[in-house]
A and B are shown apart, each in its own frame.
Chain A
Amino acid sequence: MEKRTKLAEMVRNQHDVILKDWVESQLNATTLRRELMKESELREQSREFLSLYTQSVQSGEGIGDAAWKPVKDFLGQITRSRVLLGFTPSETATFIFSLKQPLFDVIRSTLKDPKELVADIWATTTLLDNLGLYVMELHQQNREEVIHRQQEELLELSTPVVQLFENILALPLIGTLDSARTQVVMENLLQRIVETGAMIAIIDITGVPTVDTLVAQHLLKTVAAARLMGADCIISGIRPQIAQTIVHLGVDLSEVTTKATLADAFMIALQRTGASVTKSAVSQPKG
C-alpha cells in the first residue's frame, strides 16, 4: 500500500475544523449520554483520538499494522471506561462512526480529482469501519469479562461452609450443582474440615432445585472425598419429590446417612459426637 501522506496532511491541516465538526455532530447525536459523560471529557477524547489517528493514517497500512497500536490502545482505554459507565455498544461505536462525516467533508473540499477523491474516501471509510468493529469487539470483550467475574464471585458466595457446633460443619447448598460448582464445594468443604478438625459434615440440599443422576454422582463424590479425610457426611433437606426422583433414577444413597431435615441431621450429628442438647426450664418472671 502506498503511503498516504497526502491524506494525513489534509487531516492535519484541517485538524481544528474536523475536530469542531466532529464534536458538534457527537453532541447533536441521539446517542449522546450527557448524564454519563461530560462535554469537556468528550472533547478531550476526540482531540486525542484525532491526533493519534492522523499519525497512524500516514502509514497507509490497515489497522492490523503496528502503526495503529497507539490508536487501538487508546480505544481500548476509552471503551473500558465507557463499559463501566454503562454505554451500549452502538453508543460506543458511534464515537468512531461519527468521525466519517467531517473527514469526508474535508476530503471533498480539498481534492478535486474524482479518482483521488474516491480512493481517499474509500480508504478512510474502510479504516473507520474497521476501527468501529474493533471498538464493538472490545466492548463485547469487556462485557464478557464482567459477566465472567460475576460468575466467579457467585460461585464463591454460593458455597459457604458454616460451623454448627464443635466438630460439626454444615454446607447449605443453594442452586443447581454442576461439575464446576461441585469442585468448588468439595474444595471448600475439605479445606474447612482440615481447618476445624470437624468429624461430621452435613450437606443440606434444601436449596437444590433438581437432583438428577449427575448431581447425585457429584454429591456422592463429595461424600467420598470427605470420608477419605476422616469426616462422615450426612445429606439432609431431601424434599419428597427429590426422594421420589432419586429412587426412580435408581441412585444408590444407601452408603450415606440421609435425613429429611437439617434439624434431624444436626441431632444425629450431636449424638455421634457425644454431645447432647437439653431444654432448660424457662425461668418465670416473678409476679
Chain B
Amino acid sequence: MERIPILKMGNFLLVTVQVDMHDRLAMTLQDDLTGRIVKDHAHGVLIDISSLEIVDSFIGRMIGNIASMARVLDAETVVVGMRPAVAITLVELGLSLPGVRTALNVDKGVELLKGCIEQRATANGHVAG
C-alpha cells in the first residue's frame, strides 16, 4: 500500500508529501505519524506540503487535525511550503488552520521549530528552577 514516508532528523520528524493526497492516504498518515511521534519521542514535526497541488475540504481538515494531534502529543508542528493556490483554496473553504504554525519552506520551518523548542526548554527550566 502507498504510504507517505516519515523521516527522523535528530529531534524532529520530517513528513514530505510528494504525491497528491487522497482520503485513505491521509488517514494512514495520521496513524503513522502519531505512532512515530510516541515511538521516537520527537519534539518537533515538520510537514512539507510543497508538492501538494490539490486540496479539498477533507484534506484541508486532515492537515489541521494531524498538526493538532502532533501538538497534543507534545511535539511542535510546522506546516511548510504551502502553495499560493492551496492557501487561497483553504481560506475560501473557511479552513484557515488556526493554531497551526506555518513557514514558507523547510529551511525556515526548521529555524522556527528550533526556536520554539528552545523557548519551551527555557520556560520549563524556569519552572523547574
Cβ-neighbour of B104 out of A183, A199, A224, A225 (below 8 A): A199
The yes or no answer to A187 lying at the interface (CB within 8 A) is yes
* A227 closest partner in B (C-beta): B102
Chain A residues with CB below 8 A from B80, complex form:
230
SS class of chain A's interface: helix, strand, loop or mixed?
Answer: helix
The yes or no answer to B25 lying at the interface (CB within 8 A) is no
The yes or no answer to A186 lying at the interface (CB within 8 A) is yes
Give the CA-CA distance A190 to B88 in the complex, in Å.
9
Contact B96 A194 (CB under 8 A): no
Contact A228 B97 (CB under 8 A): yes
Give the CA-CA distance A231 to B101 in the complex, in Å.
10
Give chain B interface residues in 76-113, CB to chain A under 8 Å.
Answer: 79-80, 82-84, 86-88, 90-92, 96-97, 102-105, 108-109
Contact A228 B87 (CB under 8 A): yes
Cβ-neighbour of B91 out of A198, A224, A230, A231 (below 8 A): A224
Chain A residues with CB below 8 A from B103, complex form:
230
Contact A191 B84 (CB under 8 A): yes
Contact B91 A221 (CB under 8 A): yes
* A189 closest partner in B (C-beta): B84
Contact A224 B84 (CB under 8 A): no
Contact B102 A228 (CB under 8 A): yes
A224-B96, A227-B96, A228-B97 known; A187 and B84 CB under 8 Å?
A: yes
Contact A199 B84 (CB under 8 A): no
Give the CA-CA distance A229 to B90 in the complex, in Å.
11
Give chain A interface residues in 218-236, CB to chain B under 8 Å.
Answer: 221, 224-231
Chain B residues with CB below 8 A from A199, complex form:
104, 108
Binary interface encoding of chain A residues 181-220 relative to chain B, with 1 for a CB under 8 A from any of its CBs, else 0: 0010011001101100111000000000000000000000
Cβ-neighbour of A225 out of B88, B105, B108, B109 (below 8 A): B88
Chain A residues with CB below 8 A from B86, complex form:
228
A190-B87, A191-B84, A221-B91 known; A228 and B96 CB under 8 Å?
A: yes
Give the CA-CA distance A228 to B92 in the complex, in Å.
12
Give the CA-CA distance A187 to B84 in the complex, in Å.
7
Give the CA-CA distance A160 to B92 in the complex, in Å.
23
Chain A residues with CB below 8 A from B97, complex form:
228
* A187 closest partner in B (C-beta): B84
* A228 closest partner in B (C-beta): B87
A227-B102, A230-B80, A230-B103 known; A187 and B88 CB under 8 Å?
A: yes
Q: Which of B82, B84, B91 has most A Cβ within 10 Å?
A: B84
When A and B form their complex, which 5 residue pairs have the shortest distance between CB atoms, in order from nearest? A190-B84, A224-B96, A230-B103, A228-B87, A230-B104
Chain B residues proximal to chain A, CB less than 8 Å? 79-80, 82-84, 86-88, 90-92, 96-97, 102-105, 108-109
